[in-house]
Amino acid sequence: MNEKLVEQMLCDDRVKSILIGNIHALTVIPENVKKVIVYCHGLGANKNWMARFYEPLYQNQIGIIAFDFPGHGEDERIFSDFPFEQCLSDLEKVIDYAKQYAKVSLFGCSFGGFVVLNELLKHSQIESTYLMCPAVNFCSIVEKKTGVSEQFYETHDSIFLYKHMKLTKEIYHTLKEAEAKVMASFYQNIHIIHGKMDTTVDYQVIQVFCQKHASLLTTIESGKHELYGFDQEIIDWLLKEF
Protein backbone atom coordinates (compact mmCIF):
# COMPACT_ATOMS: atom_id res chain seq x y z
CA MET A 1 0.00 0.00 0.00
CA ASN A 2 1.23 3.50 -0.87
CA GLU A 3 1.87 5.06 2.56
CA LYS A 4 2.05 8.56 1.08
CA LEU A 5 -1.45 8.17 -0.34
CA VAL A 6 -2.73 6.99 3.04
CA GLU A 7 -1.06 9.91 4.84
CA GLN A 8 -2.60 12.40 2.40
CA MET A 9 -6.03 10.82 2.82
CA LEU A 10 -5.91 10.88 6.62
CA CYS A 11 -5.04 14.60 6.49
CA ASP A 12 -7.99 15.31 4.19
CA ASP A 13 -10.72 17.15 6.13
CA ARG A 14 -13.39 15.58 3.94
CA VAL A 15 -12.47 12.11 5.18
CA LYS A 16 -14.12 11.38 8.51
CA SER A 17 -13.08 8.68 10.97
CA ILE A 18 -16.19 7.28 12.67
CA LEU A 19 -17.50 4.38 14.70
CA ILE A 20 -20.53 2.46 13.48
CA GLY A 21 -21.35 0.72 16.73
CA ASN A 22 -17.92 -0.76 17.49
CA ILE A 23 -16.82 -0.88 13.84
CA HIS A 24 -14.02 1.50 12.84
CA ALA A 25 -14.76 3.19 9.52
CA LEU A 26 -13.72 6.01 7.21
CA THR A 27 -16.30 7.99 5.25
CA VAL A 28 -16.12 10.59 2.52
CA ILE A 29 -19.52 11.77 1.35
CA PRO A 30 -19.78 14.56 -1.27
CA GLU A 31 -22.63 17.03 -1.43
CA ASN A 32 -25.45 15.88 -3.71
CA VAL A 33 -24.09 12.33 -3.46
CA LYS A 34 -25.44 10.03 -6.17
CA LYS A 35 -24.35 6.71 -4.71
CA VAL A 36 -22.40 5.31 -1.77
CA ILE A 37 -19.91 2.47 -2.08
CA VAL A 38 -19.21 0.26 0.90
CA TYR A 39 -15.65 -1.04 0.54
CA CYS A 40 -14.54 -4.40 1.96
CA HIS A 41 -10.77 -4.94 2.15
CA GLY A 42 -8.81 -8.15 1.81
CA LEU A 43 -7.34 -10.42 4.48
CA GLY A 44 -4.48 -8.62 6.22
CA ALA A 45 -5.42 -5.21 4.77
CA ASN A 46 -7.57 -2.45 6.31
CA LYS A 47 -9.91 0.44 5.56
CA ASN A 48 -7.04 2.75 4.58
CA TRP A 49 -6.88 1.00 1.20
CA MET A 50 -9.69 3.25 0.02
CA ALA A 51 -6.92 5.86 -0.40
CA ARG A 52 -6.26 4.24 -3.78
CA PHE A 53 -9.46 5.50 -5.36
CA TYR A 54 -11.62 7.72 -3.11
CA GLU A 55 -10.68 11.10 -4.68
CA PRO A 56 -11.90 10.44 -8.27
CA LEU A 57 -15.08 8.89 -6.86
CA TYR A 58 -15.67 11.96 -4.70
CA GLN A 59 -15.19 14.23 -7.73
CA ASN A 60 -17.94 12.24 -9.47
CA GLN A 61 -20.34 12.60 -6.51
CA ILE A 62 -19.82 9.03 -5.35
CA GLY A 63 -19.33 8.54 -1.63
CA ILE A 64 -17.38 5.75 0.00
CA ILE A 65 -17.41 4.06 3.38
CA ALA A 66 -14.57 1.69 4.22
CA PHE A 67 -14.35 -0.26 7.47
CA ASP A 68 -11.99 -2.60 9.29
CA PHE A 69 -12.87 -6.26 9.44
CA PRO A 70 -12.48 -7.94 12.86
CA GLY A 71 -8.84 -8.08 13.92
CA HIS A 72 -7.72 -5.68 11.18
CA GLY A 73 -6.66 -2.05 11.22
CA GLU A 74 -7.96 -0.25 14.30
CA ASP A 75 -10.30 -3.07 15.31
CA GLU A 76 -9.34 -4.25 18.79
CA ARG A 77 -11.95 -6.94 19.29
CA ILE A 78 -10.44 -10.25 20.32
CA PHE A 79 -11.49 -13.39 18.50
CA SER A 80 -9.85 -16.74 19.20
CA ASP A 81 -11.43 -18.26 16.08
CA PHE A 82 -11.48 -16.73 12.60
CA PRO A 83 -14.64 -14.54 12.71
CA PHE A 84 -16.17 -15.05 9.27
CA GLU A 85 -19.75 -14.69 10.52
CA GLN A 86 -18.78 -11.48 12.31
CA CYS A 87 -17.40 -10.10 9.04
CA LEU A 88 -20.83 -10.64 7.48
CA SER A 89 -22.60 -9.09 10.46
CA ASP A 90 -20.33 -6.03 10.39
CA LEU A 91 -20.89 -5.56 6.66
CA GLU A 92 -24.64 -5.64 7.17
CA LYS A 93 -24.40 -2.94 9.85
CA VAL A 94 -22.29 -0.73 7.59
CA ILE A 95 -24.74 -1.20 4.70
CA ASP A 96 -27.62 -0.12 6.97
CA TYR A 97 -25.60 2.96 8.00
CA ALA A 98 -24.76 3.87 4.40
CA LYS A 99 -28.41 3.82 3.32
CA GLN A 100 -29.01 7.19 4.97
CA TYR A 101 -26.97 8.90 2.23
CA ALA A 102 -27.97 7.27 -1.06
CA LYS A 103 -28.35 3.97 -2.86
CA VAL A 104 -25.65 1.51 -1.82
CA SER A 105 -23.22 -0.46 -3.97
CA LEU A 106 -20.62 -2.89 -2.69
CA PHE A 107 -16.93 -3.08 -3.60
CA GLY A 108 -14.90 -6.04 -2.33
CA CYS A 109 -11.24 -6.89 -2.78
CA SER A 110 -9.92 -10.47 -2.45
CA PHE A 111 -11.35 -11.92 0.81
CA GLY A 112 -13.60 -8.85 0.95
CA GLY A 113 -15.10 -10.00 -2.34
CA PHE A 114 -15.88 -13.39 -0.80
CA VAL A 115 -17.63 -11.65 2.11
CA VAL A 116 -19.59 -9.46 -0.32
CA LEU A 117 -20.77 -12.44 -2.38
CA ASN A 118 -22.01 -14.19 0.75
CA GLU A 119 -23.76 -11.05 1.95
CA LEU A 120 -25.53 -10.68 -1.42
CA LEU A 121 -27.22 -14.03 -0.86
CA LYS A 122 -29.31 -12.46 1.90
CA HIS A 123 -29.28 -8.77 0.91
CA SER A 124 -31.30 -8.22 -2.26
CA GLN A 125 -31.45 -4.40 -2.17
CA ILE A 126 -27.89 -3.75 -3.34
CA GLU A 127 -27.92 -1.81 -6.61
CA SER A 128 -24.65 -3.12 -8.04
CA THR A 129 -21.48 -4.89 -6.98
CA TYR A 130 -17.83 -4.35 -7.91
CA LEU A 131 -15.17 -6.96 -7.19
CA MET A 132 -11.40 -6.67 -7.51
CA CYS A 133 -9.48 -9.97 -7.58
CA PRO A 134 -12.33 -11.60 -5.61
CA ALA A 135 -11.53 -14.79 -3.71
CA VAL A 136 -14.68 -16.53 -4.94
CA ASN A 137 -13.09 -19.86 -3.93
CA PHE A 138 -11.70 -18.63 -0.62
CA CYS A 139 -11.82 -21.95 1.21
CA SER A 140 -10.04 -23.72 -1.66
CA ILE A 141 -7.33 -21.03 -1.55
CA VAL A 142 -6.93 -21.56 2.20
CA GLU A 143 -6.64 -25.31 1.64
CA LYS A 144 -3.94 -24.80 -0.96
CA LYS A 145 -1.94 -22.34 1.11
CA THR A 146 -2.20 -24.04 4.52
CA GLY A 147 -2.75 -27.72 3.75
CA VAL A 148 -5.95 -27.97 5.80
CA SER A 149 -8.48 -30.65 4.83
CA GLU A 150 -10.91 -33.07 6.42
CA GLN A 151 -7.96 -35.38 7.00
CA PHE A 152 -5.97 -32.58 8.66
CA TYR A 153 -8.61 -32.24 11.38
CA GLU A 154 -8.42 -35.94 12.20
CA THR A 155 -5.10 -35.21 13.94
CA HIS A 156 -5.23 -31.43 14.57
CA ASP A 157 -7.68 -29.15 16.40
CA SER A 158 -6.92 -25.97 14.46
CA ILE A 159 -4.41 -23.92 12.51
CA PHE A 160 -3.67 -20.20 12.77
CA LEU A 161 -5.18 -18.50 9.72
CA TYR A 162 -4.48 -14.83 10.46
CA LYS A 163 -2.57 -13.41 13.43
CA HIS A 164 -3.96 -15.06 16.58
CA MET A 165 -7.21 -16.23 14.93
CA LYS A 166 -7.60 -19.96 14.52
CA LEU A 167 -9.25 -21.95 11.77
CA THR A 168 -11.05 -24.69 13.68
CA LYS A 169 -12.82 -27.59 12.04
CA GLU A 170 -16.16 -25.83 12.60
CA ILE A 171 -14.98 -22.60 10.94
CA TYR A 172 -13.39 -24.62 8.13
CA HIS A 173 -16.77 -26.23 7.43
CA THR A 174 -18.44 -22.81 7.57
CA LEU A 175 -16.05 -21.46 4.93
CA LYS A 176 -16.43 -24.59 2.81
CA GLU A 177 -20.22 -24.27 2.86
CA ALA A 178 -19.99 -20.55 2.12
CA GLU A 179 -17.81 -21.23 -0.93
CA ALA A 180 -20.21 -23.91 -2.15
CA LYS A 181 -23.12 -21.46 -1.89
CA VAL A 182 -21.21 -18.79 -3.80
CA MET A 183 -20.36 -21.22 -6.60
CA ALA A 184 -23.90 -22.62 -6.79
CA SER A 185 -25.78 -19.31 -6.63
CA PHE A 186 -26.65 -16.92 -9.44
CA TYR A 187 -25.70 -13.26 -9.18
CA GLN A 188 -26.70 -10.22 -11.23
CA ASN A 189 -25.11 -6.80 -11.80
CA ILE A 190 -21.62 -7.87 -10.81
CA HIS A 191 -18.55 -6.19 -12.32
CA ILE A 192 -15.14 -7.77 -11.84
CA ILE A 193 -11.60 -6.56 -12.49
CA HIS A 194 -8.85 -9.15 -12.27
CA GLY A 195 -5.20 -9.62 -13.11
CA LYS A 196 -4.18 -12.40 -15.49
CA MET A 197 -1.00 -12.95 -13.47
CA ASP A 198 -2.84 -13.41 -10.16
CA THR A 199 -1.33 -16.41 -8.34
CA THR A 200 -3.73 -16.22 -5.36
CA VAL A 201 -7.06 -16.28 -7.19
CA ASP A 202 -6.54 -18.12 -10.44
CA TYR A 203 -7.67 -16.16 -13.48
CA GLN A 204 -9.37 -19.23 -14.99
CA VAL A 205 -11.51 -19.58 -11.86
CA ILE A 206 -12.71 -16.01 -12.35
CA GLN A 207 -13.37 -16.58 -16.05
CA VAL A 208 -15.62 -19.55 -15.27
CA PHE A 209 -17.39 -17.61 -12.53
CA CYS A 210 -18.06 -14.67 -14.87
CA GLN A 211 -19.34 -16.91 -17.64
CA LYS A 212 -21.82 -18.54 -15.25
CA HIS A 213 -23.14 -15.25 -13.92
CA ALA A 214 -22.85 -13.21 -17.12
CA SER A 215 -20.65 -10.89 -15.07
CA LEU A 216 -18.65 -8.19 -16.81
CA LEU A 217 -14.93 -9.01 -16.56
CA THR A 218 -12.19 -6.46 -17.08
CA THR A 219 -8.75 -8.05 -17.42
CA ILE A 220 -5.41 -6.48 -16.51
CA GLU A 221 -2.97 -8.54 -18.56
CA SER A 222 0.06 -8.12 -16.30
CA GLY A 223 -1.87 -7.57 -13.07
CA LYS A 224 -1.13 -9.61 -9.96
CA HIS A 225 -3.27 -10.08 -6.85
CA GLU A 226 -4.95 -6.89 -5.61
CA LEU A 227 -3.58 -5.09 -8.70
CA TYR A 228 -0.76 -3.11 -7.11
CA GLY A 229 0.49 -0.46 -9.53
CA PHE A 230 -2.78 -0.33 -11.46
CA ASP A 231 -4.69 2.26 -9.44
CA GLN A 232 -5.54 4.36 -12.49
CA GLU A 233 -6.92 1.31 -14.30
CA ILE A 234 -9.06 0.52 -11.24
CA ILE A 235 -10.35 4.10 -11.14
CA ASP A 236 -11.12 4.08 -14.88
CA TRP A 237 -12.96 0.76 -14.47
CA LEU A 238 -15.05 2.00 -11.56
CA LEU A 239 -16.03 5.25 -13.25
CA LYS A 240 -16.84 3.51 -16.52
CA GLU A 241 -19.13 1.04 -14.79
CA PHE A 242 -20.88 3.80 -12.81
pLDDT band at 2 (very low <50, low <70, confident <90, very high): confident
Q: How far apart are alpha carbons 26 and 20 in whole angstroms? A: 10
pLDDT band at 122 (very low <50, low <70, confident <90, very high): confident
**Residue 23 confidence (pLDDT) above 90:** yes
What pLDDT does residue 80 have? 84
Q: Where are the domains of the chain?
A: 3-136+187-241
Q: Checking DSSP bridges between strand 190-195 and strand 129-132, what pairing results, if any? A: parallel
Q: How far is CA 179 from the centre of its chain?
A: 15
Q: Does 3.40.50.2300 match the CATH number of domain 3-136+187-241? A: no
pLDDT tens digit string along 212-242? Answer: 887 899 999 999 999 999 999 999 999 987 7
Q: How far apart are alpha carbons 70 and 83 in whole angstroms? A: 7
Distance from the first to the final alpha carbon of the chain: 25
Residues 6+ apart with CB under 8 A from 78: 164
pLDDT tens digit string along 129-138? Answer: 999 999 999 9
pLDDT tens digit string along 73-95? Answer: 999 887 889 999 999 999 999 99
What pLDDT does residue 24 have? 98
CA distances from 6 to 9, 21, 27, 74, 222 (A): 5, 24, 14, 14, 25
**Residue 124 confidence (pLDDT) above 70:** no
**Residue 210 confidence (pLDDT) above 80:** yes
Instruction: Give exposure, 39-65, as e/b (b: 16+ Cβ within 10 Å).
Output: bbbbbebbbbbbbbbbbbbbeeebbbb
The mean pLDDT value of the chain amounts to 94
* pTM for the full predicted model: 0.96
For residues 184-199, give the mean pLDDT.
94
Q: What SS3 class is residue 139? A: helix
Q: How far apart are alpha carbons 120 and 106 in whole angstroms? A: 9
pLDDT band at 48 (very low <50, low <70, confident <90, very high): very high
